[in-house]
C-alpha cells in the first residue's frame, strides 16, 4: 500500500516539476539564493530537464517510499566517508552538482536548509543504495546486537562497586 501512495506522490511531483519547468531556474535562484541559476537561465533549464528525467528513473519513488518522514541521516551502521565522486548525485545528472577537480564533485546547495528535503542527506541508506550508484567508499558495517549481562551477586572488585 505504501508503494502505491509513493508511486502516486512521485508521479504528481514529477508532473509538477515539468509543469513549472520554465520557472525552475528562477525558483532555484530564489530558494537557494544563488544568482547563477538565473544568470545562466538556458544552461540551468537544460540541466533541469536532465535532472527531472534522472529523478523519474527511481530517485523520486525512492524518496516517497523510503525517505520522506522516515530517515533524515545516514544510518549509524553505515561505515566509510564520502570521496566526492558524484555517483550518488543521480550519476552526475543533478542540476546542483559542481565539478571541483578532475574527478571530484561538490553539491552547490550543500549548506541549504531545503537540501534536507531530498534523498541526499540520508545516502546511503542500504546496500542497495550503495550498489545502485556504485559508491566506492561506503559499506554496511555490522549491527551489534544489544546483550544483557547478569549482574554478579557478589561484587568481584569492591572498589568498583558502590
Ligand atoms: S557515491 Fe559515495 S563517495 Fe560518491 S559522492 Fe556519493 S556518497 Fe560520496
Domain residues for the domain of 95 are 2-142
Atom 1 (ligand 1) nearest CA: 135
- Does the C-beta of 133 come closer than 6 Å to ligand 1? yes
Is 148 domain-assigned?
Answer: no
Is 155 domain-assigned?
Answer: no
Closest ligand 1 atom number to CA of residue 105: 5
Is 153 domain-assigned?
Answer: no
> H or E stretch including 26?
helix 24-31
- Does the C-beta of 86 come closer than 6 Å to ligand 1? yes
- Does the C-beta of 84 come closer than 6 Å to ligand 1? yes
- Give the predicted TM-score (pTM) of the model: 0.84
Q: What is the pLDDT of residues 60-119, one digit of tens each?
A: 999 999 999 888 889 999 999 999 999 999 999 999 999 999 999 999 999 999 998 999
Q: What is the pLDDT of residues 35-59, one digit of tens each?
A: 999 999 999 999 999 999 999 999 9
Is 104 domain-assigned?
Answer: yes
Is 152 domain-assigned?
Answer: no
Number of domains the chain contains: 1
Q: How far is CA 20 from the centre of its chain?
A: 23
Is 66 domain-assigned?
Answer: yes
Listed in sequence order, the DSSP H helices in 32-112 are 36-39, 41-56, 59-62
Question: How far is CA 50 from each of CA 46, 76, 93, 146, rounded to the nearest angstrom?
Answer: 7, 32, 6, 45
Is 12 domain-assigned?
Answer: yes
Q: How confident is the model at residue 2 (pLDDT cuts 50, 70, 90)?
A: confident
Other CB atoms within a 10 A radius of the CB of residue 158 amount to 8
Is pLDDT above 90 for 143?
A: no
> H or E stretch including 111?
none
pLDDT of 47: 98
Question: To the nearest whole number, what is the mean pLDDT of the chain?
Answer: 91
pLDDT of 1: 79
Atom 4 (ligand 1) nearest CA: 85
Atom 7 (ligand 1) nearest CA: 82
The b/e string for 24-52 (b: 16+ C-beta within 10 A; e otherwise) is bbeebbeebebeebeeeeeebbebbeebb
Is 24 domain-assigned?
Answer: yes
Amino acid at each position: 500500500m505504501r508503494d502505491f501512495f509513493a508511486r502516486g506522490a512521485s508521479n504528481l511531483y514529477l508532473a509538477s516539476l515539468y509543469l513549472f519547468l520554465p520557472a525552475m531556474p528562477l525558483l532555484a535562484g530564489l530558494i537557494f539564493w544563488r544568482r547563477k541559476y538565473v544568470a545562466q537561465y538556458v544552461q540551468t533549464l537544460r540541466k533541469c530537464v536532465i535532472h527531472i528525467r534522472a529523478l523519474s528513473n527511481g530517485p523520486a519513488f525512492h524518496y516517497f517510499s523510503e525517505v520522506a518522514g522516515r530517515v533524515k541521516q545516514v544510518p549509524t551502521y553505515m561505515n566509510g566517508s564520502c570521496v566526492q565522486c558524484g555517483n550518488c548525485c543521480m550519476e552526475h545528472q543533478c542540476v546542483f552538482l559542481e565539478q571541483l577537480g578532475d574527478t571530484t564533485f561538490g553539491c552547490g546547495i550543500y549548506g541549504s536548509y531545503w537540501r534536507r528535503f531530498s534523498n541526499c542527506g540520508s545516502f546511503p541508506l542500504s546496500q542497495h543504495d550503495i550498489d545502485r550508484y556504485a559508491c566506492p567508499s561506503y559499506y554496511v558495517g555490522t549491527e551489534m546486537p544489544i546483550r544483557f549481562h547478569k549482574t554478579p551477586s557478589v561484587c568481584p572488585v569492591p572498589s568498583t562497586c558502590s
